[in-house]
Structure 1
């Protein structure tokens, strides 16, 4: 591995000062090409990026259990187009090191609408990065995208879009089945169990897609597939039978060296990468619906910066989901080759824009879009088989543990407490997190009282308030003294509010018609909330 050039290290100073210095030193980021390496049942794609003049990256993504006859039957250029876009989203993780004012795409061409979509994702999806580094992105020429590649990729996309009209039974459309992006958290559990409940009625089996899976993710997926039975796995390629689909993504170590050397670092829209990865995997493995577990709570921003709402979870929002669906239908997975059978019943979209028609392509949607985190916690509480399997703590991810000290742990603990017994909570988390002396401070942060809302995937401020109220009422109803953390919140906040019973009720029974759910799944989920 080559060492970083010794000619430049950012001078100490604010993020804004370092960004300006880096942008002068490194004026152009280049997406040069990507290379495919095919083995017996593995596809490895290496993306080649360059920050001019002298920093190069070669991150890799590896798909295992590939059935090559299936992949080779895809329309001409389909796989290359999807991988090209996977690399396009991957660029953000490397571009951020220098915030180069130009992103040059040499591997292919992008039309003006594609460039607009990508820049919109960069602006909103990188908002937390801009905020943390105090970077002003508002100048019209802060970053421009130049797609300077030859017409090869563009011509392949055109073939992808307009050929294969009458190719019945091709590799992509032969099975009506779902691919679920799965983590080790409670949201994935609820999605998987909802799909399992519909299997006999819909005949749509599902499988799990895991990226760099944690121990918890493997356990959750394994349990869900075991409960499903052979329905999903039996029709998948024999190379994949017996477990979830696993994809490995490798970060180029040079990026970590840059971080250590003082280059810019921060959050990127990871769920956007997962969206493109999901559609790519669906094409490779033969699925026509990609399902994620992004919830309504993701809509709430954490802080305002330069007149914009900064949302850690932007790529989990409805705005992103809608934009990605539109982009996917036009540029990633057009209807004509994704779904050759026009007569599939029961696939009508929900209420947003009637996006599903009789000639549908890949569908990408969030099953939990209409629900708040607190509602999801109540649904999760019905699935005790997962209590000791799931994990949501980012700090404890590698050790498969709950750290018990972060905002993510405190939020999940608070959200679940009203719906589980004390013994169950202790079995899951190992201790009473409300008894920790720092709990009150973290809860206040979750409420947005002392600082901006944590840059974590947590519920809204109102949800946290409602959950704390429900916890306090439950504990008092059992004749137990409130822990010091809850007592402090009750005395300073709960005691001043008379609307908390109604707030909790309204959140637990809430439903949003702003979603992209198929009607059958929307009705099932709504009935779960009404009960």
Structure 2
């Protein structure tokens, strides 16, 4: 690996062609040059595309999309000579490149926290006049349980919404088909050379903050097609990190965390004069609470999936659930206390808790061995509480994994702590960013 000390990562100013609906983003690492494109659907508001707010969001999107190219070398210096940043925007950019790439640094043993610099012209940050956006909701759909619970909550509280996705595939397409509302889809085309180099030994590769990336793309759609709020489906469990590295907690789900939500919401609001809102509808809930809410609706049982094998660049021709990965194991675990056993088995096609080969994975999820997996899974104590609940559940207490971990679970945590943890999982948090009127409607329905 060539040292990154003397290298710079260059972010060029992006270009949006309103005639074709294509935005182009250029980047450079030494003599390597990359171009990424976003292809937006027809029907954009040309006046919005020419606004100062859209220009600002396009520039900020270029900053965030750049993480995919920056990580090839992970140099210490980032330069954006034609993108002016306010102090708040500069802090946002540093946060994306530090905490957003925290897992990438940890897994590649790269010390970057507090060492990165971004050189860009200063934007005085004078308040932008508020733009006018229709009172409409853009709802990112990920194909898993979370966004589909948001669909149910918004539907039953009378909030109309438009499904949104970037490069939709598999469970996203089938879920949107079941929702039955015309979506907004964006095609993101990564530079092919970047993908190729990422497979070579001379370059780094790893996790990027995909929620941050997709959120910035959604913000562009909000202006182009007229939406005043972007509603995410990130749970409170997403704020828990995985490991401490380089003196800082690193979190696979950092860009789903409450801290990042508040940061990006402020940046998007400032860029639009307060017109664009951004928040997570599921922030009050644990993963277990979301699983319990999912059981209220059955129409998505055969189309949703949280298994990462469905979202690989190369696609997936297999089943919706592989049954082997931590994501499959965790989702099965949190559904088990709330969903009828026959329904859960029909969704997954097999009993993941009755297979001794899965024991090590469930032990990691519950904090009995190893570390929390680098996956979008819930809190360690939450998983432990769900496992404890199954030791007392008529349908599950004889399952191979449940029997195997019971003694160690009780020895490590103790019964009172596990009981309290389960109660807390089912108690809604007040630490969220949902507009009060909507929060009240959702709380009244989600009982």
TM-score, length basis structure 1: 0.78
CA contact (8 A) 1:65 1:245 kept: no
Which of 373, 387, 406 is residue 454 of structure 1 equivalent to?
Answer: 373
> Which residue number corresponds to residue 71 of structure 2?
96
Q: Where does 1:121-270 land on structure 2 (aligned, <5 Å)?
A: 121-138=96-113, 142-147=115-120, 161-162=128-129, 172-173=132-133, 175-199=134-158, 204-225=159-180, 243-262=182-201, 263-270=203-210
Q: 1:281 to 1:491 in 2, by over 3 A?
A: same
Q: Does 1:323 align with 2:263?
A: yes
Q: Does 1:392 align with 2:306?
A: yes
CA contact (8 A) 1:396 1:403 kept: no
Q: CA deviation at 1:481?
A: 6.3
- Distance of 1:86 and 1:304 partners within structure 2: 29
CA contact (8 A) 1:207 1:225 kept: no
Q: Any idea what SS the aligned residue of 1:64 has? A: coil
Between 455-464 and 107-116, report the one with greater CA deviation: 107-116
Q: CA deviation at 1:516?
A: 0.9
CA contact (8 A) 1:22 1:99 kept: no
Q: Does 1:27 align with 2:27?
A: no
> Which residue number corresponds to residue 430 of structure 2?
513
RMSD: 2.2
Which of 316, 321, 324 is residue 402 of structure 1 equivalent to?
Answer: 321
Q: CA deviation at 1:419?
A: 1.6
CA contact (8 A) 1:47 1:58 kept: yes
Q: Any idea what SS the aligned residue of 1:511 has? A: coil
Q: Unaligned regions of 5+ residues in structure 2, if any?
A: none
CA contact (8 A) 1:179 1:290 kept: yes
Q: CA deviation at 1:44?
A: 1.0
Which of 392, 408, 412 is residue 492 of structure 1 equivalent to?
Answer: 408
Cα-to-partner distance string for 1:32-54 (whole Å, 9 max, x where unaligned): 23233344xx51111111111x1
> Which residue number corresponds to residue 272 of structure 1?
212
Q: CA deviation at 1:451?
A: 1.5
For this pair of structures, how many residues does the alignment match?
Answer: 439
Cα-to-partner distance string for 1:363-398 (whole Å, 9 max, x where unaligned): 100000111000000000111011111100002433
Q: CA deviation at 1:440?
A: 0.8
Q: Any idea what SS the aligned residue of 1:395 has? A: helix
Q: Does 1:61 align with 2:22?
A: no
Q: Any idea what SS the aligned residue of 1:132 has? A: helix
- Distance of 2:425 and 2:103 partners within structure 1: 27
Q: 1:50 to 1:385 in 2, by over 3 A?
A: same
> Which residue number corresponds to residue 109 of structure 1?
84
**After the TM superposition, which parts of structure 1 deviate over 4 Å for at least 4 consecutive aligned residues?**
none
Q: Does 1:48 align with 2:26?
A: yes
CA contact (8 A) 1:209 1:245 kept: yes
Q: 1:255 to 1:491 in 2, by over 3 A?
A: same
Q: CA deviation at 1:435?
A: 2.5
CA contact (8 A) 1:34 1:107 kept: no
Q: Any idea what SS the aligned residue of 1:23 has? A: coil
Which of 330, 334, 345 is residue 273 of structure 2 equivalent to?
Answer: 334
Between 450-459 and 364-373, report the one with greater CA deviation: 450-459
- Distance of 2:48 and 2:272 partners within structure 1: 15
Q: Does 1:427 align with 2:346?
A: yes
Q: Unaligned regions of 5+ residues in structure 1, if any?
A: 1-9, 11-20, 227-242, 336-360
Q: 1:293 to 1:481 in 2, by over 3 A?
A: closer
Cα-to-partner distance string for 1:406-449 (whole Å, 9 max, x where unaligned): 00000000111122222211211111111333211000111223
> Which residue number corresponds to residue 16 of structure 2?
36
Cα-to-partner distance string for 1:206-264 (whole Å, 9 max, x where unaligned): 111111112211222232235xxxxxxxxxxxxxxxx2100111111111222222211
